[in-house]
Every structure is written in C-alpha cells, then in structure tokens.
Structure 1
Amino acid sequence: MMEWMLAEIQEKEEVLQKIRTTGYLDLVNEAGMRLAQIIKQGNKVLLAGNGGSAADAQHFAGEIVGRFLMERNAIPALSLCVDPSVMTCIGNDYGYEEVFARQVQGLGKEGDAFIGISTSGNSENIIRAITEARKKNMFVVGFLGKDGGKIKDLCDVALVVPSNSTPRIQEIHTFTVHLLCEMIEKEAFKK
C-alpha cells in the first residue's frame, strides 16, 4: 500500500508541475479578476456540476456566500445542484439534460457569471446551461479536465486540468476554488 500511495502523490506532483508551466494559472488569474469585477458590479455567480463536481459547486458557493479567509459582506452565489424539488421537477418534466439550463434561464441575468464544472468536459446538462448563460450574456468559466471536451470552446475561460485521472482533476479543481475565493476576496473588497 505504501508504494501505491507514493505513486498517487507522484502523480499529483506531476499535475501540479503541469499547471505551473502550461498557462493554467494565467487563466485562473483571468477568471478571478473577472469574477471580482462581476461581484463588485453587484452581480451573482451561478455554479453547477454533477457528482463530485456538484460538491465542488456547493463548496465554491459556500465559501463566497459565507466567507473564505476575510470578514466581509456576503457575495451572491448559488449552486444549482442543491434543491432536490427543483432538480426533480425539471428532470421529470424536461429531462436531466435541462436541470441546470432551466435554472440559469430563471435565475441568471446579463452581467452574472456561470461556472460549469465537468471533469470530462462533456456533461450535456452543463453544455445546455452554458448555452442559456450565453443567451443572457453571462461570463462563463469551465472547470474541466482531460482535453476540455466539448465545453472547452464554449467558455470565456476554460480551466482545463491537464490530466486524465478524475481524482487528480477534482483535487486541482478544489485547489482552484480556493485560489479563486481568495482572489475574489482580495480584489472585490480591496479598500
């Protein structure tokens, strides 16, 4: 077991090295600065994902509605994954592919941001939510993995973790959530 754990650590170190050298952090910076600007203008952030990516969406929303590191006013953010009545109503009436798009249609407005999280980059319900966000002229960020999939080219900023390992992609997504939360706090609430 020790050998296996050391191999897992080595794999994560290799992914971290790739994000240092591939321009990933430049894109994180771009997304963070834009999100801070959106928040300063009084707009909100909507987030969505499936499975572990739904947990990442909830985590991100919780950190910025509550607080990350700084005492400050709440930031308007909402994970679209958290209301089972809404999700099952939309899923039943329109299909699972529409569970996020319908919410973006109802809750999003021009100037807001939508963050879609998909380790494969191919989640149909995220693609449809991005389509709705685009109709509303929202800023779109993708948290993606592998080659970015179909979603990569639909985003204003595509944060593609250079790995084919879902656990490594999710670990970097969590790290990216923390980077963005701190950037947003520092930029949106700077005096």
Structure 2
Amino acid sequence: MTTTIAPTVDDRRVALLTGHVASHRQAVDGLARELPTLVSWGVELADRLLRGGRLIAVGNGGSAAEAQHLTAEIVGRFDGERPPFSAIALHADTSSVTAIANDYGYEEVFARQVRAHARSGDVAIFFSTSGRSPNLLAAVRAARGVGAVTWAMTGAGPNPLSRTVDAALCLPGTSAAAQEAHLLALHLVCRVFDDRVRTRLAKGRAS
C-alpha cells in the first residue's frame, strides 16, 4: 500500500508570492488610469507610421525584451491583417551594440544608433523600470536632436527618463510588477494602433 504524503504549505513563500501579486495589481491599476494616454499613443503612432515614419524601441535587460516584443508586433501584426510597418529594437543588432560599446562606451550604444536610424517625424519609445539608465537618457537626447517624438514606459515616477521625454507612462509597484504591466501596456497600444490603421486604410479605399 502506497501512502501519499500531502505537500506542506510553505507560508513564507506563499506570502512572498502574495506580495508580488499585490504589487502587480497596483501597477495594473495605475495602468488602467492611463488608458487615455495609451489611446493617444496608439493613434499617433499609426498616423506617423502611415506617413512613412519609423518606430525606434529601446531598453536594457528585461526592458529590451519588451522593446523587441513591441517592434515584432508592429512589423508583423497584432489584432488582424494589415500592412507591415518599420520598427527597430536597437539592442537586437548585437554587432552594432558591441562595436559601439567597445569604441565609444556603453552609454553611447543606443544614442549612436538613434542618430543613424531616427529622423524627424519618427517615434522613439524607451522602456525602463528605474528610469535612470544613462544609455537611455543619452538616446533620448539624440532622438530629440533629430526631431523624433519621445515616449517612455517606466516604473514609479517622476524619474530622470520621465522628465526628459515628451510623454511618459509611469507605473507604481516593484520593478518586476512595472515590467509586467509594460507588456500589457504595449499590447494596448498595439490594439489601438491596428484599429487606427485599419480605419485610415478603409477610409482611403472609400474615397
């Protein structure tokens, strides 16, 4: 006869996860209060890319993954069939990143790429849980120098990045919770983006 031993409840670790979930809810609640901002970003991004603009997305570490997730949605598709649009996640060009870091220092890895790729009328979006990364701040200055619109998704604000860009979404909670909410936020932007693109293209065909 086999005796099944019930797993013991690890109260300390359950409490640890409960705290994480609570922080996640705090970040998502903060995001829900910023839905008008995300609507305006999705609409403006669609209008600029339909005019031939480009999206430049920037981040470090986990935020780099968020940046690349966003560009994949824009080049591919999110909410249905539509044309592809130009979007670049700057960390993904590892040869450029390592060459620039080696020759100019890590603070310049994104700024130099922004000066190479971004133009007036483009959108540059920066992901950062701390809002303090020197290489992102340098890239914002470069983007503003070429006339690109600058947005940021950060953790709790205000912070140096949120004060430097044209518009920022600052979310409360831990760094992990803010980063998780950034994924939801970028999906919401994509949903509005796709809706705006389809609406504009439909109107063009009807005219």
Report Cα offsets for 1:72-114 as digits up to 9, x if no partner: 1111100001011100110011100000000010011110110
Specify the code of the residue in structure 1 equivalent to 2:156.
K
1:95 alignment counterpart = 105
Give the 5 Å matches for 1:1-191. 1-21=13-33, 24-163=34-173, 165-190=174-199, 191=202
Contact 2:31–2:171 (Cα < 8 Å) also in 1: yes
**2-structure distance, mates of 1:39, 1:51:** 27
Specify the code of the residue in structure 2 equivalent to 1:73.
P
RMSD (CA atoms): 1.3
Counterpart secondary structure, 2:91: coil
Q: Give the TM-score of the pair, scaled to structure 2.
A: 0.86
State the 4+ residue runs in structure 1 displaced beyond 6 angstroms: none
Q: How many angstroms does 1:2 deviate by? A: 3.4
Specify the code of the residue in structure 2 equivalent to 1:59.
H
Report Cα offsets for 1:23-48 as digits up to 9, x if no partner: x2222222222111111211110011
Name structure 1 gaps, 5 residues minimum. none
Contact 1:100–1:129 (Cα < 8 Å) also in 2: yes
Identity of aligned residues (%): 35
Q: How many angstroms does 1:144 deviate by? A: 0.8
**1-structure distance, mates of 2:185, 2:194:** 14
**2-structure distance, mates of 1:11, 1:119:** 14
Count of residues in Structure 1 that have an aligned counterpart in Structure 2? 188
Report Cα offsets for 1:46-73 as digits up to 9, x if no partner: 0110000110111101111011121111
**2-structure distance, mates of 1:188, 1:133:** 24
Specify the code of the residue in structure 1 equivalent to 2:67.
A
Larger radius of gyration: 2
**2-structure distance, mates of 1:75, 1:170:** 25
Name structure 2 gaps, 5 residues minimum. 1-12, 203-207
